[in-house]
């Protein structure tokens, strides 16, 4: 592989990471190329499609979350679940692409990236453990919680992340089983 080619891949990845995080997955390809200082043709030689590009980036985020979930699997069930939820919310509020991916299941890359599948399973395990321990109300599903969290991050993300903190904390409180009288 030629040296300038490798350098351009780096540039594109950097530009894409920044833009996806700030603007979400809907940012135009041309803009990413412009930010990277290359033409769209160059971008497309290294990434066959736009989806491939943001998959490459989002997978890293998903893996870091997945690793964190694995770590927390050993802690006390309730504590583990809520800690993970808070961290996931914080991350999603900062990276719009993450929120986009986690929220709109069918739109892009469902089975394309197995990491997402894996993360969802880990998340569900954390939730079920917390429910079994009586820390979380038993009638919510994993999808419910993700939707709640991502909704807060996506719609609240307009004004910035400070608001997301409050919303995540409201969600956490609402999920605690002992709050239902």
Partner DNA sequence: TGACAACCGGAACGGTGGTTCCGTATCCTG
Partner DNA sequence: CAGGATACGGAACCACCGTTCCGGTTGTCA
Write out the residues near a second copy by the rule CB under 8 A.
Answer: 103-106, 137, 139-141, 143-144, 146-148, 150-156, 158-159, 163, 166-167, 169-176, 179-180
- Applying CB under 7 A, among 39, 114, 134, 138 the residue interacting with DNA is 39
| Contact status: 10 vs DNA (CB under 7 A) | no
Separation of alpha carbons 67 and 104, rounded Å:
22
Report the distance separating Cα 41 and Cα 32, nearest Å.
12
Phi, psi of 64 (to 5 degrees): -65, -40
Stretch that binds DNA, among 28-36, 64-72, 76-84, 108-116 (CB under 7 A): 28-36
* Torsion (CA) 150, 155, 159, 160 in degrees, nearest 10: 10
Q: State the Cα–Cα distance between residues 84 and 79, nearest whole angstrom.
A: 8
For DNA, the closer CB: 58 or 149 = 58
Contact 59, 20 (CB under 8 A): no
Residue 106 binds DNA (CB under 7 A): no
- Of 45-74, binders to DNA (CB under 7 A) are 45-46, 48-51
Grouping H, G, I as helix, E, B as strand and the rest as coil, residue 133 is coil
Q: Does 1 bind DNA (CB under 7 A)?
A: yes
Q: Which partner, DNA, a second copy, none, binds residue 4 by CB below 5 to 8 Å per kind? A: DNA
Residue 130 near residue 78, CB atoms below 8 Å: yes
Q: Is residue 53 a contact partner of residue 16, using CB atoms and an 8 Å limit?
A: yes
163: partner contacted, choices DNA, a second copy, none (Cβ within 5-8 A by kind)? a second copy
Q: Please choose which of DNA, a second copy, none residue 42 contacts, taking the beta carbon within 5 to 8 angstroms, the exact cut-off set by kind.
A: DNA
Binding site for DNA (CB under 7 A): 1-5, 8, 26-30, 37-42, 44-46, 48-51
């Amino acid at each position: 592989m030629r040296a300038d080619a490798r350098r351009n891949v780096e540039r594109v990845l950097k530009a894409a990471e920044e833009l996806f995080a700030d603007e979400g997955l809907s940012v135009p390809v041309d803009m990413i190329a412009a930010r990277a200082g290359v033409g769209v043709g160059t971008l497309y030689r290294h990434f066959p499609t736009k989806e491939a590009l943001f998959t490459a980036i989002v997978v890293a985020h998903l893996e870091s979350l997945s690793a964190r979930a694995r770590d927390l699997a050993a802690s006390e069930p309730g504590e583990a679940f809520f800690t993970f939820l808070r961290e996931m919310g914080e991350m999603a509020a900062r990276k719009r692409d993450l929120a986009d991916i986690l929220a709109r299941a069918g739109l892009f890359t469902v089975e394309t990236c197995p990491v997402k599948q894996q993360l969802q399973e880990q998340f569900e395990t954390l939730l079920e453990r917390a429910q079994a321990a009586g820390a979380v109300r038993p009638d919510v599903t994993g999808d419910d919680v993700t939707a709640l969290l991502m909704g807060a991050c996506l719609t609240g993300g307009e004004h910035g992340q400070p608001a997301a903190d409050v919303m995540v904390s409201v969600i956490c409180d609402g999920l605690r089983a002992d709050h239902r009288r």
